[in-house]
């Protein structure tokens, strides 16, 4: 078979009807968890000022350097398809003066995001993410609540073998000390690093820590660790976070290499992974951290905050893998069949009456032969078939056949709903 002329653009995909059950299940769980924890939904535009991400995510990150879809409008605005959600949420917080609301402000979002990535299995250039932002609170319990909310969502979706990886990358006071120590170490080992890392070492040394290259990983195994360079306040913050975590039944481990290389992170960073296949340490299911300086980086005031996001496609593939329980769409218990042109004409208004009464009805309007229509009714497993023949159409009557008892009665069209409800009650 030859390829169709038009296909989805590289790295973009259709979410087909048969896959929607997973996406609906995720929406359902999100609504429940977010409503309990009192998060309010925010939708921000898909396009933002590109500099919003340059300023916040950072100039020397993969996202901004390589992965942003940008465009110039006819009015010469420089816009980007949003690559992530936190910068937009903080932009909205500042723009709409949320600082005057009771703090913290708890926001959640869901929608498409865009990154120009190398095409590879499970990575998309347009993907869906949901996320949370808790803005205006510096208490470490908020960090753990962010972790818990994301963990609970994944757990309620049926995902098992979840593990939280956590680290502290310090704040402006102590991170520069750590960066210096790391750069010193990396310089000595420069020849063992991949060319990407040799470059990153100069512009964004923390990024080197999450290089996937095996040789780099080996070199990094004895690199200095950020937790050893934390100032007293950052140390206390991490200690509190770990103590709150200990109270939860959430498996976690300290991972000194976790940095989540975006410029806006401070102190706590975390990821939630699936340990289902121990050797397959793929992409994290969710990740986040604290970003106490982001508001100021974007020209706002003091607004310490913590948040997290999760990739929907990644979660769906995990749900599929473990055959997570989802609700398949309900099939109609009632089927409507028509015979002859007059009956066909009367069909749509009768179906509409049934819809208004909340009764789901199947049909096969494209087929005129009764046999073909009844074939579909039995494939659907319909309990009741309504048959409108030429004679019934003329007399305002309809045949109601109970498929379980094979009993058939003729009723007035006005009584269809009453009759159908009675039969459905009988079972
Ligand atoms: Zn490397
Ligand atoms: Zn510090």
**Model confidence pLDDT, tens digit, residues 8-26:** 999 999 999 999 999 999 9
**What single string gives the DSSP state of each residue in 277-320?**
STT---S-SEEEEE-TTHHHHTT-----EEEEEEEHHHHHHHHH
Q: Tokens at residue 351, please?
A: 């179906």
**Alpha helix positions (H), 3-110:** 20-36, 50-56, 62, 86-95
Instruction: Determine how β-strand 397-402 pairs with β-strand 408-412.
Output: antiparallel
pLDDT, tens digit, 9 for 90 and up, residues 73-109: 999 999 999 999 999 999 999 999 999 999 999 999 9
CA of 203 to the centre of ligand 1 (A): 14
CA of 203 to the centre of ligand 2 (A): 21
Ligand closest to 230 (CA) is: 2
Ligand closest to 176 (CA) is: 2
Q: Tokens at residue 150, please?
A: 């994301």
Phi, psi angles (nearest 5°) of residue 354: -65, -40
Where does residue 376 rank: exposed (0-12), middle (13-18), buried (19+ CB within 10 A)? middle
pLDDT at 376: 95
Structural element, H or E, at residue 412? strand 408-412
pLDDT at 62: 85
Long-range contacts of 284-288 (CB under 8 A, 24+ apart): 284/165, 285/154, 285/159, 285/162, 285/310, 285/311, 285/314, 285/315, 285/318, 286/150, 286/151, 286/153, 286/154, 286/310, 286/311, 287/260, 288/131, 288/132, 288/146, 288/147, 288/150, 288/260
Cβ < 5 A residues, ion ligand 2: 170-171, 173-174, 231, 234
pLDDT at 279: 47
Residues (pLDDT < 50) of the chain are: 279
CA of 181 to the centre of ligand 1 (A): 18
Question: What whole-number distance in Å separates Cα of residue 366 and Cα of residue 338?
Answer: 10
pLDDT at 427: 60
Question: What whole-number distance in Å separates Cα of residue 106 and Cα of residue 380?
Answer: 45
CA of 253 to the centre of ligand 2 (A): 21
Centroid of chain to Cα 146: 15
CA of 280 to the centre of ligand 2 (A): 33
Ligand closest to 218 (CA) is: 1
pLDDT, tens digit, 9 for 90 and up, residues 320-352: 999 999 988 788 899 999 999 999 999 999 999
């Amino acid at each position: 078979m030859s390829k169709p002329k038009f296909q989805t653009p590289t790295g973009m995909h259709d979410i087909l009807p048969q896959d929607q059950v997973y996406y609906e299940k995720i929406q359902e769980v999100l609504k429940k968890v977010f409503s309990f924890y009192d998060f309010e939904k925010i939708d921000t535009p898909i396009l933002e000022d590109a500099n919003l991400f340059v300023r916040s995510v950072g100039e020397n990150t993969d996202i901004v350097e390589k992965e942003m879809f940008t465009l110039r409008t006819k009015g010469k605005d420089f816009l980007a398809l949003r690559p992530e959600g936190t910068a937009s949420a903080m932009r909205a917080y500042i723009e709409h003066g949320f600082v005057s609301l009771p703090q913290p402000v708890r926001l959640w979002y869901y929608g498409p995001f865009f990154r120009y990535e190398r095409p590879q299995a499970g990575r998309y250039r347009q993907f869906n993410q949901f996320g949370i932002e808790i803005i205006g609170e510096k208490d470490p319990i908020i960090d753990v609540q962010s972790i818990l909310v994301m963990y609970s969502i994944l757990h309620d979706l049926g995902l098992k073998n979840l593990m939280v990886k956590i680290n502290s990358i310090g704040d402006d006071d102590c991170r520069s000390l750590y960066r210096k120590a790391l750069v010193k170490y990396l310089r000595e080992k420069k020849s063992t690093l991949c060319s990407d890392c040799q470059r990153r070492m100069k512009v964004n040394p923390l990024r080197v820590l999450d290089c996937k290259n095996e040789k780099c990983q080996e070199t990094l195994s004895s690199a200095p660790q950020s937790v050893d360079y934390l100032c007293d306040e950052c140390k206390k913050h991490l200690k509190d976070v770990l103590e709150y975590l200990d109270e939860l039944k959430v498996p976690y481990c300290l991972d000194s290499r976790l940095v989540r290389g975006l410029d806006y992170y401070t102190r706590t960073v975390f990821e939630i992974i699936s340990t289902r296949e121990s050797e397959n340490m793929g992409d994290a299911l969710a990740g986040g951290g604290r970003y106490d300086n982001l508001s100021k980086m974007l020209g706002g005031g003091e607004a310490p905050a913590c948040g997290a996001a999760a990739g929907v496609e990644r979660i769906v593939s995990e749900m599929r893998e473990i055959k997570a329980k989802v609700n398949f769409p309900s099939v109609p218990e009632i089927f409507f069949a028509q015979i002859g042109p007059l009956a066909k004409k009367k069909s749509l208004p009768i179906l509409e009456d049934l819809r208004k009464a909340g009764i789901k009805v199947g049909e096969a309007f494209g087929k005129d032969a009764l046999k073909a229509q009844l074939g579909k009714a039995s494939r659907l497993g319909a309990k009741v078939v309504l048959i409108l023949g030429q004679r019934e159409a003329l007399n305002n009557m309809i045949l109601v056949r109970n498929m379980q008892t094979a009993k058939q009665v003729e009723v007035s069209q006005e009584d269809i709903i009453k009759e159908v409800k009675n039969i459905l009650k009988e079972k």
